[in-house]
Amino acid sequence: MKAHSYENAFLITGGIVLAMCASALAYATFGMGMHLPGRVAQIDPAKVYQTPPFNKPGVRKIGEGRYEVVLVAQAWAFMPAEIRVPRNAEVTFTATSVDVIHGFDIERTRVNMMLIPGQVGRLTHTFREPGEFLLLCHEYCGAGHHMMYGKVIIE
């Protein structure tokens, strides 16, 4: 084989792989409706604690089996640090950060967001398994990053 026919084979293979990636992405987005947790609203990061609903962080029951968790991330803690909801509860997390980018990841679930100052993040999850789950900050946010965690207790 001549050198340029190897080159062609690589180019064609690369093209096929790219086309496969693009169609998988298109299928996930349009076919399965997958998307990143939305940017719901913008907020003045300097006035988070004065802006509803973040002036009252915590867990609220909003309907039969439905809960809302309003959460604020600040170096290096989550507020509230402990979230308690019953099993099978549909929980909507509304969260933001007051200082730097923090992560919001509940282990063994698909709950995973970035908390960006000035942006409100929202995500809904139904907890089927009872137990205690760690809520972790998984974006490096400074010296206390490794100590930034909370607990989600499903009763």
Residues that bind ligand CUA (CB under 6 A): 76, 102-103, 137, 139-141, 145, 148
Spatial separation of the C-alpha atoms in residues 136 and 128, rounded to whole Å: 20
Spatial separation of the C-alpha atoms in residues 16 and 18, rounded to whole Å: 5
Q: How far is the CB of 100 from ligand CUA (least distance, A)?
A: 7
Of 70 and 148, CB closest to ligand CUA: 148
Work out the burial of residue 54: count CB atoms within 10 Å of its CB; fewer than 13 is exposed, 13-18 middle, 19 or more buried.
buried
User: Are 135 and 72 spatial neighbours (Cβ–Cβ below 8 Å)?
Assistant: no
Spatial separation of the C-alpha atoms in residues 57 and 78, rounded to whole Å: 10
Of 65 and 118, CB closest to ligand CUA: 118
Q: How far is the CB of 18 from ligand CUA (least distance, A)?
A: 34
Of 115 and 154, CB closest to ligand CUA: 115
Q: Are strands 66-74 and 90-97 parallel, antiparallel or unpaired?
A: parallel
Of 137 and 152, CB closest to ligand CUA: 137
Q: How far is the CB of 96 from ligand CUA (least distance, A)?
A: 13
Q: How far is the CB of 101 from ligand CUA (least distance, A)?
A: 8
Tokens of 137: 């900050």
